[in-house]
Amino acid sequence: MKKYLVGLMGLLMASLCFAQNVPIRTITPLPIGLRAFSSAPLPNGDIIVMGGTSNSISASSTCYRFNYQTETWSSLSDLAFASADMQVAVLDDGRILAVGGTNDFISPIQSSQLYDPVSDTWTASGSNFESLLDGYTRFSLVVLPDNYVLLSTSQGEIAIYDVNADTWTQIDPGPIDAGGSPAYWLPEQQEIIFTGAGGQIYIPNAIPTTGALFYLDPAQPLIPDINVMLEDGRVLMINTELNFNNEISIYDPATRTASIVGEMPFNAGIQTRNIVRMADGKVLSFGFGDPTAPNDTKIIQVYEPETNEWQVVTYSELGPFSTPHLHLLPNAGILAISGGPEPSDTNPCWILNNEGPNSIQTNLQTTIKLYPNPVQDVLFVEHAPTGKLDGEYQFILRNLQGQTVLQTMLTSNQVNIPRSNLSSGTYFVQLIQHGHSLIHLPITLK
């Protein structure tokens, strides 16, 4: 394998002259060494880390908050019950649903808990889904409109959680070989795509009790390893199995078809790398730093969907030893948290694509003003000190799941928000000018 990596690195080094600059900085590590933890963004752009295990035996109930402005960690209230390896869903109102997991990596936890970031409290659900999971198994979560959450398991079951009623309802849509694979709610089509078993579509009817499920025919080249939704609503998928078949597939919801579009230049095998969509719409890949061959694996890769091209960046310090958690921050930086503790018994952390408090991204944000916040129907955008916008801007509004809900060209300082189509809650505003992301900030819709 190392001979292969050395040869591959020669090819990658030849492409470095085309690479964009992706700075990387080591920051304060997670205060406790954790494995199998979960993480999610909070409404203001901070990141919460929850659960996991610090001793590989029993689950933890600890929670920590990463403040993206000070780049520091602080403790939050404990989980309602300890759990590791949970799946999490960010609701439209900013609350976080943490589902299932395990306390001993043998038996499943068949309940969920809800976090309120305003009161910093966790509440165990009054309803559970014990009929779904008769063993410790994979499952996936998808947030539906009106704060419903769909759960699908690798055993073929589907249940829907009604947040307002605090109830789980099991439904019987038929066989679902793709259950447990990554799934996405497609707002334009009002349906879910499951990325396993050649692709399956679920169309909810009378939520939360009925829906229609069917296979894509013919089966599509969908890849359930690592994937992310692109700005235009398509889904990017990458094969990271340890066979160096690094195929990339893109699913187009408009046609319900997928195409193999190329290969990722480098991967170190399954459960070593992760990807995240950047503020400018590109996709960043970061992960595994092999201590036995550090010069072969210290690689950041950036994918440009419009041109279907990869750019490769190397860095000097050693990266994570396991799959990192990656989160886009409001200042356009990316927080990377090592997926497991290192020999120092902490989870190292890095900031990618942001050079610190004096970086261009941070300085630009101090010159852009959004008001009122919360906003009812009209949002005003001003550029200090003149209060005028210089030129034409692309305005993008995304929900907490990263889905684009409004996109328009901004030629004045006023944006009309189509409230008939949007629920109250937290959203992120992004402004792009000449291909450069200027801000990526949260606002609240009343």
C-alpha torsion 347→352→356→362, nearest 10: -130
The CATH class for the domain spanning 1-23+220-358 reads mainly beta
How high is the pLDDT of residue 244?
Answer: 57
Distance CA(273)–CA(319), nearest Å, equals 11
How high is the pLDDT of residue 19?
Answer: 43
Tell me which amino acid residue 274 is.
N
Q: How confident is the model at residue 85 (pLDDT cuts 50, 70, 90)?
A: very high
Report the CATH architecture of 367-445: Sandwich (2.60)
Q: How confident is the model at residue 132 (pLDDT cuts 50, 70, 90)?
A: low
Q: What is the pLDDT of residues 24-40, one digit of tens each?
A: 999 999 999 999 999 99
How much is the average pLDDT of 285-301? 77
Please give the full DSSP string across 268-281, using - where no structure is assigned.
-STTSEEEEE-TTS
CA angle (436, 440, 444) in 5-degree steps: 150
The answer, yes or no, to whether residue 17 has pLDDT greater than 70, is no
Contacts of 416 (CB under 8 A, 6+ apart): 377, 378
How high is the pLDDT of residue 7?
Answer: 36
Q: Are 411 and 433 in contact (CB under 8 A)?
A: no
Q: Are 97 and 161 in contact (CB under 8 A)?
A: yes
The answer, yes or no, to whether residue 371 has pLDDT greater than 90, is no
Does 208 sit behind a cis peptide bond, omega within 30 degrees of 0 on the bond before it? yes
How high is the pLDDT of residue 137?
Answer: 67
Q: What is the pLDDT of residues 163-179, one digit of tens each?
A: 999 999 888 776 678 88
Q: Compute the mean pLDDT over every residue in the chain, rounded to the nearest whole number.
A: 84
Q: Delimit the CATH 2.130.10.80 region(s) of the chain.
A: 1-23+220-358
Q: Delimit the CATH 2.60.40.3080 region(s) of the chain.
A: 367-445
Who wins on pLDDT, 38 or 314? 38
Q: How confident is the model at residue 385 (pLDDT cuts 50, 70, 90)?
A: low
Q: What is the pLDDT of residues 221-244, one digit of tens each?
A: 999 989 999 988 999 999 887 665
The answer, yes or no, to whether residue 434 has pLDDT greater than 80, is no
**DSSP strands (E only) in 105-263:** 112-116, 121-124, 139-144, 148-153, 158-162, 167-171, 183-186, 191-194, 200-204, 211-215, 226-229, 235-238, 247-252, 257-263
Q: How confident is the model at residue 11 (pLDDT cuts 50, 70, 90)?
A: very low
- From residue 216, alpha-carbon distances to 192, 233, 244, 278 in Å are 12, 18, 27, 30
